[in-house]
Amino acid sequence: MKRDYVESMISEKLVKYEAYMTGKEIESLIDSILFDWNELGDAEADFDSIVDWNVEQFLSHSGNDKECKRIDMDEVKNFIPYPKDWFNISYKPKPKYFLMRKLPSGWDEVYYYLDAKINQKKYSIKLLE
């Protein structure tokens, strides 16, 4: 079983669930699925159901909605930038992802993001303006 095939199946499932996983999370999930597939060793087994079960399990157990997940620079284009002035406003949504970049001074700068752009319908247009 090739990793890119498993990754494409995971991507299809994520669209179905309207969910997003970081690149590291997808790599971990691919490893888990391939391990399950190799452990079963059953040529009659339904690979699609193995992928579906693993994705469902990962999404239901993948941490708390209150914690921010770290993303890589190449994943930023998939997210909605989080305005810094929203942090002290209680009715605004809290950031769900962050990116850290090293500054020339040696300090890290943190950028925050909302859900993946495919989930924009969760937020009103007025809220995002």
Chain segment 14-47, per-residue pLDDT in tens: 888 777 788 888 999 999 898 888 887 666 678 8
At residue 127 the predicted structure's pLDDT band, cuts being 50, 70 and 90, is low
Note the pLDDT of residue 61: 75
Q: Is 115 helix (H, G, I), strand (E, B) or coil?
A: strand
Tokens 């991507």: give the residue: 11
The pTM is what? 0.61
pLDDT at residue 128 greater than cutoff 60 = no
HEC per residue, 28-90? HHHHHHHHHHHHHCCCCCCHHHHHHHHHHHHHHHCCCCCCCEECCHHHHHHEEECCHHHCCCC
125, containing H or E segment: helix 125-128
What percent of the chain has pLDDT above 90?
A: 9
At residue 121 the predicted structure's pLDDT band, cuts being 50, 70 and 90, is low
| pLDDT, mean over the chain | 81
Of residues 129 and 31, more confidence is placed in: 31
Of residues 48 and 118, more confidence is placed in: 48
Chain segment 39-74, per-residue pLDDT in tens: 876 666 788 888 888 888 888 776 555 677 888 888
